[in-house]
Amino acid sequence: MKTYSFLAHKCDIRLKVEADSLENLFHAALEGMNCIIKGDETPLKGKDHGIVVDIDSVDVTALLIDFLSEVLLETHTEYAVFDKLEVLELNENHCKARLFGDRVDGFDEDIKAVTYHEADVRQNRKGYYESVIVFDI
């Protein structure tokens, strides 16, 4: 189980993610970010471009934000949207993942940065992981 939804914000985009596992939380956050970048949830087809990200962070909240920031950097550098995620290693401080996607001609929305503002990965009463992520646009 994984979900994402958009929350109100004056000038940035707030995304709430919730999932039954840490891995699915990363999947939901990536899906939400991609929805902002490419504007809809239509799956890309070619998967002609792949990258590997290998990130160490001080805690799970920083890890999620650093992961999304690294994917966003690769998105802008490679002009590609990475919508398939294969998690190779994941714990509270480390994430190694392979991502696949397609090169695109343009983005529907340009995300400048993934911020730490409001981010706090925690388990809710249902035992699901959740966080809010604010994207600077």
Domains located in the chain, CATH noted: 2-136 (3.55.10.10)
Residue pLDDT, tens place only, 62-100: 999 999 999 999 999 999 999 999 999 999 999 999 999
Q: Is the distance from CB of 42 to CB of 31 less than 8 angstroms?
A: no
Mean pLDDT estimate for the chain: 90
Residue 132 identity: V
Global pTM? 0.89
The Cα–Cα gap between 30 and 102 comes to 15
Q: How far is CA 87 from CA 28, 67, 112, in A?
A: 13, 11, 25
How many C-beta neighbours within 10 Å does residue 68 have?
A: 24
Q: Is the distance from CB of 67 to CB of 53 less than 8 angstroms?
A: yes
Residue pLDDT, tens place only, 117-130: 999 999 999 999 99
Q: Length of the chain, please?
A: 137
Residue 15: name the closest of 54, 60, 65 by CA.
65
Residue pLDDT, tens place only, 21-66: 999 999 999 999 999 998 765 555 666 789 999 999 999 999 999 9
